[in-house]
Amino acid sequence: MPSAPLWQKLFPKYGNWGGPGWSGGRYINGPLDPETAAVGYIDSLDYIFWCHDGLYRRALWLFNNKRIDSQQFSAAISKADRWLLKKLKAMPADPRKWWEPATDWRYAWAYRKAAILAFTVKPALHLPFL
């Protein structure tokens, strides 16, 4: 398993896709291999994180393949974060009422709240990836 930077390890993980650098149930440093990309999500919240990871991966691919410049890359990441925040806020507050309910609803409730806070303050803190 690739080693994650310490700052990523300070954040808790959620399911297979929630948390900085946490994709497909493991820390990644670079492109997502097909095996990891095929890992599913555990509930509605994890699905939203899976989609968000996909938006990040697309932006990174476009940048690495010189289809967009660094300013466009930053804009794409910001757009992905705004999309995530909108989806998090639109979810029912009770994780048992999600279209794919959470098993550990207390943790899911707290993680969603923390993610809303993190992605609300991220633009002001100029953090690269969350």
How confident is the model over 4-38, as pLDDT tens digits?
Answer: 777 777 889 999 999 998 999 999 877 777 788 88
> What digits encode the pLDDT tens for the residues 102-127?
999 999 999 999 999 999 998 777 66
What are the distances in angstroms from CA 62 to CA 25, 68, 70, 95, 109?
Answer: 24, 6, 10, 34, 34
Contact 71, 63 (CB under 8 A): no
Query: Which H/E stretch holds residue 70?
Result: helix 70-90
Single out the residue of 71, 79, 77, 84 nearest to residue 119, CA to CA.
84
What tokens does 93 get?
A: 């507050």
Which residues are CB-contacts of 121 (< 8 A; sequence separation ≥ 6)? none
The pTM of this model reads 0.90
CA distance 40 to 25: 9
